[in-house]
């Protein structure tokens, strides 16, 4: 007996801290269910049974299984129909299914089983060591997948925290620049103006005029920097007004005509969602200015109780298909990650010479519930 088979016959202890994987056995014969329980109980995982296809489908809707052992011939919903229903659900779409059958020469049934999503086909009576070995393979794959999903979830939570901290820091710096530095420059302008009123020397008056001009220019620069860090309009007037302002600024700066279709300014999504959508919109416009060579941008913002949708299309050169998921498309990846933190999506489509369209969809608080 091979080392793999020997390992499969021994009781297996689940690693400390590891969640037990769930295995589903579906068979209409009570004796077969009992035998499978005895056979697989030594694996140390959570074993669930279903006496019919209907019960199996119900369990697949409630649980995530590492593998499903499914009898082919059952009254009512047979194994093939059960597999099709299980595979048709999003939650169990990728769950491995091993068919068990007593028919040893039914090749058409075997082919049909693979067509409905079976990963393996075993004949009854099964060889215990073979069955255990196959089940262990899928259990280990399931556990590794769970670990990977947990790692991805931790990374996303960390990214969300870093984004939140960054926004708070930008807002704080913007307030400090606007309030502190702006106040100092305003005071300096008043002092220079006071001094100019008491001077009679034309050369000195010219100098004070130059100083006032420099102060005014510095004030405008300070406002521009503060607005770039965190637009006050986003906090004071909401997302709709901020998007309209950003579109006008983009048109003024680049000469690319922007046509906007926006909802009422009274429509206000949650603050963090508004910030996310605004930053995504800024990144979209940056990509348009850098890469599209467009002359027009059409944008539409929609907001209801369930969802916020932003659609931005340009008439530029169009994005290449391989650039959407390419390693260098960090801007697109950043937009997708921002939206994903709120359960949203960012879809990018386009064809060479026909422009690019970016569609953003993010659930609002009620939609997320």
Task: From 96, 73, 115, 90, select the one nearest 22 (Cα to Cα).
Answer: 96
Q: Please, which pLDDT band fits residue 36 given cuts at 50, 70 and 90?
A: confident
Task: From 8, 17, 113, select the one nearest 69 (Cα to Cα).
Answer: 113
pLDDT for 313 equals 93
pLDDT digits (tens, 9 = 90+) for 110-130: 667 777 777 887 878 888 888
Angle at the Cα of 207 from the Cα atoms of 205 and 209, rounded to 5 degrees: 70
The strand pair at 97-101 and 296-303 is best described as unpaired
pLDDT for 322 equals 61
Average pLDDT over residues 70-83: 86
Q: Please, which pLDDT band fits residue 305 given cuts at 50, 70 and 90?
A: confident
Higher local confidence (pLDDT), 194 or 170: 194
pLDDT digits (tens, 9 = 90+) for 97-111: 888 887 655 666 666
Residue in the structure block whose two tokens are 């369990």? 59
Angle at the Cα of 278 from the Cα atoms of 277 and 280, rounded to 5 degrees: 65
pLDDT digits (tens, 9 = 90+) for 213-240: 999 899 888 888 877 777 777 878 889 9
Average pLDDT over residues 257-274: 86
Q: Please, which pLDDT band fits residue 3 given cuts at 50, 70 and 90?
A: very low
Inter-residue contact 275 to 233 (CB < 8 Å): no
pTM for this prediction: 0.60
Q: Measured between alpha carbons, how far is 211 from 61 in angstroms, rounded to an integer?
A: 73
């Amino acid at each position: 007996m091979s080392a793999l088979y020997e390992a499969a016959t021994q009781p297996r202890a689940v690693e400390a801290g590891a969640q037990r994987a769930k295995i589903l056995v579906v068979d209409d014969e009570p004796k077969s269910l009992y035998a499978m329980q005895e056979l697989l109980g030594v694996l140390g995982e959570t074993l669930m049974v279903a006496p019919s296809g209907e019960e199996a489908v119900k369990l697949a809707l409630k649980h995530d299984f590492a593998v499903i052992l499914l009898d082919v011939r059952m009254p009512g919903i047979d194994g093939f129909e059960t597999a099709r229903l299980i595979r048709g659900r999003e939650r169990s779409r990728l769950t491995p299914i091993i068919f068990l059958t007593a028919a040893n020469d039914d090749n058409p049934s075997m082919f049909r089983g693979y067509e409905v999503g079976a990963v393996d086909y075993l004949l009854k009576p099964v060889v215990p060591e073979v069955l255990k070995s196959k089940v262990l393979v899928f259990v280990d794959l399931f556990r590794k997948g769970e670990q990977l999903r947990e790692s991805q979830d931790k990374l996303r939570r960390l990214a969300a925290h870093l984004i939140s901290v960054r926004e708070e820091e930008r807002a704080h710096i913007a307030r400090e620049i606007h309030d502190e530095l702006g106040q100092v420059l305003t005071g300096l302008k008043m002092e220079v103006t006071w001094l100019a009123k008491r001077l009679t020397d034309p050369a000195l008056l010219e100098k004070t005029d130059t100083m006032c001009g420099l102060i005014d220019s510095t004030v405008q620069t300070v406002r521009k920097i503060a607005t770039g860090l965190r637009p006050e309009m986003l906090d004071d007037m909401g997302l709709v007004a901020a998007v309209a302002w950003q579109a006008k600024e983009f048109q003024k700066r680049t000469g690319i005509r922007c046509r906007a279709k926006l909802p009422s300014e009274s429509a206000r999504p949650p603050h963090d969602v508004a910030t996310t959508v605004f930053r995504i919109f800024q990144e979209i416009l940056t990509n348009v200015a850098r890469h599209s060579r467009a002359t027009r941008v059409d944008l539409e913002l929609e907001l209801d109780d369930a969802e916020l949708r932003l659609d931005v299309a340009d008439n530029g050169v169009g994005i290449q298909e391989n650039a959407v998921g390419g390693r260098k498309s960090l801007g697109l990846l950043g937009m997708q990650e921002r939206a994903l933190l709120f359960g949203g999506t960012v879809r990018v489509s386009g064809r060479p010479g026909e422009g690019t369209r970016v569609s953003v969809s993010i659930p609002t608080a009620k939609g997320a519930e």
